[in-house]
C-alpha cells in the first residue's frame, strides 16, 4: 500500500530555482523568511572570530586531496530562515560538511588539524552560543 501525504494548510514547500522556500499559510501560523548569511553576521564572530565562511570537505574528499566539498562548489554558502522578529530559526550550510568535521575528526590527524580544529568546531560553538543567547 502506498501512502500519499496530506497537504498541510499551514506550510507549503515550493521549489523555486532549486531552493526550498517556506511560505506562510493564510493564517500566518508559519511566517519564515529566507536570507543569505553574510560574513559580518554575529554567528561568525560571537565566540570565535572567523575571517571566512568555513568550508569543510567530507573526509573522503579531503583524503583524496580536495579542499572543497565538491569540485564545482568553490565556496561555502550559508543561509538562514528567520522569523518575523529577525531571529534565525534554521542555519543552512551549503557546500560544506561541518558534520564530518565534528564526527570524523578522530579518523585522521591532518583532517583534525586542518578542518575540525580551525573551522568546524569554532563555527559549531558559535552557532550554539548564538542560539542560546538570542
Q: What is the pLDDT of residues 80-126, one digit of tens each?
A: 988 888 888 889 998 899 999 999 989 999 999 999 999 999 999 99
Burial of 14 (0-12, 13-18, 19+ CB in 10 A): exposed
> What is the average pLDDT score of the chain?
80
Q: Where are the domains of the chain?
A: 33-133
CB atoms near residue 77 (< 10 Å):
14
Q: How far apart are CA 4 and CA 20, in angstroms?
A: 20
Query: What is the rounded distance in angstroms from the CA atom of residue 124 to the CA atom of residue 134?
Result: 16
What CA–CA distance (Å, rounded) separates 1 from 83?
A: 38
Residue range 7-43, pLDDT digits in tens: 544 444 433 333 334 444 445 555 556 688 999 999 9
Model pLDDT for residues 80-90, shown as the tens digit of each residue: 988 888 888 88
CA 7 to chain centre: 27
So what's the pLDDT on residue 16?
Answer: 33
Amino acid at each position: 500500500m502506498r501512502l500519499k501525504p496530506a497537504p498541510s494548510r499551514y506550510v507549503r514547500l515550493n521549489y523555486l530555482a532549486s531552493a526550498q522556500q517556506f511560505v506562510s499559510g493564510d493564517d500566518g501560523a508559519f511566517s519564515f523568511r529566507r536570507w543569505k548569511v553574510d560574513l559580518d553576521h554575529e554567528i561568525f564572530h560571537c565566540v570565535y572570530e572567523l575571517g571566512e565562511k568555513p568550508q569543510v570537505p567530507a573526509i573522503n574528499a579531503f583524503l583524496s586531496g580536495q579542499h572543497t566539498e565538491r569540485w564545482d562548489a568553490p565556496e561555502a554558502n550559508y543561509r538562514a530562515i528567520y522569523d518575523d522578529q529577525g531571529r534565525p530559526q534554521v542555519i543552512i550550510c551549503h557546500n560544506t560538511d561541518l558534520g564530518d568535521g565534528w564526527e570524523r575528526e578522530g579518523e585522521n590527524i591532518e583532517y583534525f588539524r586542518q578542518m575540525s580544529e580551525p573551522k568546524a568546531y569554532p563555527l559549531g560553538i558559535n552557532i550554539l552560543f548564538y542560539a542560546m543567547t538570542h
